[in-house]
Homo-oligomer: A and B are copies of this chain.
Amino acid sequence: MTKRALSRKHIVTKSAEMFRHRSFTEVSMRDIARALNVKAASLYNHISSKQEILELIIFDLVEIFITRITNTQNKNIDIESKLIEIIQTHIDIAINQPNAFATLNNDWKYLADEKKQVFISRRIEYENKLKQIITEGQKNGAIRDQNPDIIIYMMLTSLRTLHLWYERQDQKQDTLMKQIPKMILYGVLP
């Protein structure tokens, strides 16, 4: 019945919130503990290491990204609609899960070696799904015949720091949902 029982979930959520604004290496276990009104040692009753917190934040979101692009990939809609849906997924996550999203984008490099390799593999898997959609679109003439790696780069980088910019400019979600895909696609579509 305690109002604020310490749990893995609380620790992970609060950590993501803190990693968003000051990176993984800058936030100490003492900082996280202080924000949860406990002492650092107490955290270790719920999680085994600082690394584990990072892994929980990042890999949960990785699964969400892969699930959603797979979903889009399997729909019976045209290529342009697929790309819009993928872009909107990124905007949705950037706005509605900004803490985990920022941590994934900024702090994946602090994953321990083995986990970092897993992350990179999953990212390549994601990019390959996107590449399949793009090359399929290029065969149909639905997408401009340009180096698909450059197209993917342009799509993904502009979406990677949306959470920062959203915070700074205070744009409405539905404005972004309309305008960003348009700006990306007019460069991608013939």
Contacts and interface: CB of A to CB of B under 8 A. Distances in A.
Interface of A: 23, 25-26, 146-147, 149-151, 153-154, 157-158, 160-161, 165, 169, 171, 175-176, 179-180, 182-188
30 contacts: A23-B25, A25-B25, A25-B26, A146-B179, A146-B183, A147-B175, A147-B179, A150-B171, A150-B176, A150-B179, A150-B180, A150-B183, A151-B183, A153-B165, A153-B169, A154-B158, A154-B180, A154-B183, A154-B184, A157-B157, A157-B160, A157-B161, A157-B165, A158-B158, A160-B161, A182-B187, A183-B187, A183-B188, A186-B186, A186-B187
Contacts of A184: 154, 187
Nearest to A110: B26
Nearest to A150: B179
Contacts of A179: 146-147, 150
How many subunits of this chain does the assembly comprise? 2
Contacts of A186: 186-187
A180 B153 CA distance: 10
A7 to B, nearest CB: 30
Nearest to A164: B157
Nearest to A25: B25
Most-contacted residue by chain B among A25, A161, A183, A185 (CB, 10 A): A183
Given A146-B183, A182-B187, 15 more contacts: A23-B25, A25-B25, A146-B179, A147-B171, A147-B175, A149-B171, A150-B171, A151-B183, A153-B169, A157-B158, A157-B160, A157-B165, A158-B158, A183-B187, A187-B187
A157 B176 CA distance: 15
A186 B188 CA distance: 8
